[in-house]
Amino acid sequence: MDSPQNWGARRPRPRMRLPGPDTASPALNWIAGERVAIGGLPPTRLMARLAEQGVTHIVNCRSRAQVRWSGDLAAERVAFGPGRVAHAPMQDHGLRQRPAVWAAAASFAARVLTEQQQAGVLIHCSAGRRRSPMLAYAVLRLRGHAPGQAAALVLSYRTEAELVPAYVRSVEWWLATTAR
């Protein structure tokens, strides 16, 4: 019979996956010519280095519960200043996204890119797969790209991105019904 000190060596402990940065994927992907980057949650230890990569503004697409739990939104506001960080507190549920939750952040990013020629906007959620690509799509649409062109840009520069049909319909409905 094995002694108790050998038990840990025989059976590896299961690892718990906590929500946070996905270290297996690139931190951010810049859309060429647009000064828009899409990414997953940047690790707190690398927050200060985002500016070295050209990031001047951030749009955080994580839910209120996620940012409360991890403190990432607060860290971003400390690192960049509250006027350079917008929050689009979306749930990733695959259903229609209410413009009241994300439209102000999309308008913020589009306005910054238009008014500040040296600005670079990072749009991120947890993994950079669904919510941040949706918001980047909205920003590109606000900047005059046609639906197909905006989708192609998002999907070609952020290969792990998925443009959820209900999310895209939310953007298109908002654009069609709102005087910008």
Q: What is the pLDDT of residue 179?
A: 60
Domain ranges of the chain: 25-177
Burial of 127 (0-12, 13-18, 19+ CB in 10 A): buried
Q: What is the CATH number of domain 25-177?
A: 3.90.190.10
Q: What is the pTM of this model?
A: 0.84
- CA distances to 69, 79, 94, 105 from 117, in Å: 34, 21, 34, 18
pLDDT tens across the length of the chain (180 residues): 444 454 444 444 443 334 444 443 347 899 999 999 999 998 888 888 899 899 999 999 999 999 999 999 999 999 999 999 999 999 999 999 999 999 999 999 999 999 999 999 999 999 999 999 999 999 999 999 999 999 999 999 999 999 999 999 999 999 999 865
Q: 3-state DSSP call for residue 63? A: coil
Q: What is the pLDDT of residue 136?
A: 98
Token reading at 36? 């828009």
Angle, helix 131-142 to helix 165-177, in steps of 10 degrees: 30
Report the run of H or E that residue 64 belongs to, with start and end: helix 64-70
Token reading at 166? 């209900």
